[in-house]
């Protein structure tokens, strides 16, 4: 078992996950980002392609119809600025979709907007050449390069097979009008784009799943780390035990201070003591102000004797109240009758009536 102490076998705690997130350590896939952006680009060209083609023809006609040699340098600058604005407006729909897609897919992978505060601090290890070489030639980097090469081979094979199959149909369209050739080429381009997107999305989803697995493995903790973190979050067990002792002692002191206000103390006779308080104007039923066993019961009896509080022995009732009653709460409803009889007896032997409670304890 001692050999297992340093092994990372425990899942990351919420605190460890939060710290990793603050450092920017989250599972993300560049392949999934690229596939999503390519999908957005293909869809954008599918939707806005003809409109962009029309804008391009309009800009081309404007360029060809402008007598550039007859214009002054200042006028040429103005015309070039107009062309730049027209080109930007033509590309704006696609650019907006691509930016929105890039942001959306990153937020999806990081499960919300991620601001890695801890990454903003200057780190000398980041510019350490030895660490840099270790990262470059690490096993993870080599695996990443091999995986990227395999993905390029897959995508290249799909593109090659598609294009080689379209060479003959395209050659048959060489004598056709330009709109016919352009329309066919545009449709085949979209088909190729969607085919590549399907392949890249599949590879990206697989890579994202692998990144999640790898990130979970990197964040695993040893049992000792979990214990140390528990101490940091919840406090040292010894300190917590001492705090509980202090709280119990303070509660015991408050309880003893309430004994002189009791009407009666019911005992077992020496093992258990329960002090009850009752005031007709303030209470619907008698309330337990102190209870305990052993030394605490003995101290309750001593305080009762010192303050002239009647002590009544009733073993069954004392045991039942000790088990079922709650401090500073009313007695259980099924003990009302028994406690009422005891209070009546106390009032009788002390020369008081229950109605005297409306004006305080009264004279014994």
pLDDT at position 276 is: 93
**Least trusted range by pLDDT, from 46-50, 57-61, 134-138, 243-247:** 134-138
- Residue 361's pLDDT is 42
Compute the average pLDDT of residues 316-342.
Answer: 90
Is 70 exceeded by the pLDDT of residue 2? no
Report helix, strand or coil for 8.
coil
Cis check for the bond before 139: say yes or no (omega within 30 of 0). no
pLDDT, the chain, mean? 80
Work out the percent of the chain whose per-residue pLDDT is above 90: 16
- Report the alpha-carbon distance of residue 297 to residue 37 in Å, rounded: 76
Termini Cα distance of the chain: 70
Q: Which CATH topology does 241-359 take?
A: name from scop (3.40.1690)
Residue 249 CB partners (closer than 8 Å, separation 6+):
none
| Closest C-alpha among 46, 26, 95 to residue 197 | 46
301-328 confidence digits (pLDDT tens): 999 999 989 999 999 999 999 998 888 8
pLDDT digits (tens, 9 = 90+) for 3-54: 455 687 888 888 888 888 888 788 888 888 989 999 999 998 888 877 877 7
Task: List the single range of 130-144, 177-191, 248-262 with lowest mean pLDDT.
Answer: 130-144
| pLDDT at res. 1 | 42
Report the pLDDT averaged over residues 137-161.
Answer: 81
CB 226 within 8 A of CB 5: no
**pLDDT reported for residue 349:** 81
Domain extent listing, the chain: 12-230, 241-359
Residue 360 pLDDT > 60 = no
289 has a pLDDT exceeding 80? yes
Is pLDDT above 80 for 354? Answer: no
Enter the tokens of residue 285: 């039923």
| Per-residue pLDDT, 264 | 92
Sequence-distant (≥ 6) Cβ neighbours of residue 231 within 8 angstroms? 237
pLDDT for the residue numbered 5: 52
CA–CA separation, 214 and 58 (whole Å) = 52
The structure tokens listed for 51 are: 């409109």
pLDDT at 281: 78
Residue 154 pLDDT greater than 60, yes or no: yes
pTM of the model: 0.53
226-237 confidence digits (pLDDT tens): 887 776 665 556
> Locate tokens 């989250």: which residue?
26
* pLDDT surpassing 50 at residue 363: no
What pLDDT is recorded for position 23?
80
* pLDDT attached to residue 64: 78
Q: How far apart are CA 27 and CA 21, in angstroms?
A: 10
Residue 133: the pLDDT is 53
Max Cα distance, the chain (Å): 127
Give the span between the Cα atoms of 269 and 318, in whole angstroms: 8
């Amino acid at each position: 078992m001692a050999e297992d102490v340093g092994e990372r076998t425990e899942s990351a705690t919420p605190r460890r996950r939060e710290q990793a997130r603050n450092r920017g350590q989250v599972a993300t896939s560049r392949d999934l980002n690229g596939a999503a952006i390519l999908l957005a680009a293909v869809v954008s060209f599918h939707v806005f392609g003809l409109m962009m083609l029309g804008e391009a023809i309009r800009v081309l006609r404007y360029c060809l119809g402008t007598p550039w040699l007859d214009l002054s340098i200042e006028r040429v600058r103005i015309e070039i600025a107009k062309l730049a604005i027209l080109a930007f407006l033509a590309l704006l729909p696609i650019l907006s979709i691509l930016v929105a897609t890039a942001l959306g897919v990153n937020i999806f992978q990081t499960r919300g907007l991620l601001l890695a505060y801890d990454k903003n601090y200057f780190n000398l290890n980041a510019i350490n050449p030895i660490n840099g070489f270790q990262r470059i030639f690490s096993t993870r980097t080599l695996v990443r390069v091999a995986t990227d090469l395999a993905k390029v081979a897959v995508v290249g094979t799909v593109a090659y097979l598609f294009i080689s199959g379209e060479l003959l149909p395209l050659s048959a369209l060489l004598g056709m009008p330009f709109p016919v050739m352009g329309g066919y080429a545009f449709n085949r381009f979209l088909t190729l784009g969607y085919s590549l997107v399907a392949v890249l999305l599949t590879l990206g989803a697989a890579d994202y799943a692998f990144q999640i697995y790898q990130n979970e493995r990197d964040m695993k903790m040893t049992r000792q780390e979990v214990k140390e973190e528990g101490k940091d979050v919840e406090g040292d067990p010894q300190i917590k035990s001492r705090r509980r002792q202090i709280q119990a002692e303070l509660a015991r002191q408050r309880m003893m201070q309430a004994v002189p206000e009791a009407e009666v103390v019911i005992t077992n006779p020496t093992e258990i003591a329960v002090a009850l308080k009752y005031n007709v104007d303030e209470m619907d039923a008698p309330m337990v102000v102190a209870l305990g066993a052993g030394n605490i019961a003995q101290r309750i009896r001593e305080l009762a004797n010192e303050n002239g509080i009647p002590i009544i022995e009733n073993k069954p009732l004392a045991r039942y109240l000790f088990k079922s009653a709650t401090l500073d709460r009313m007695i259980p409803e099924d003990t009302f009758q028994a406690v009422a009889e005891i209070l009546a007896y106390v009032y009788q032997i002390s020369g008081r009536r229950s109605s005297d409670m409306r004006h305080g304890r009264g004279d014994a």
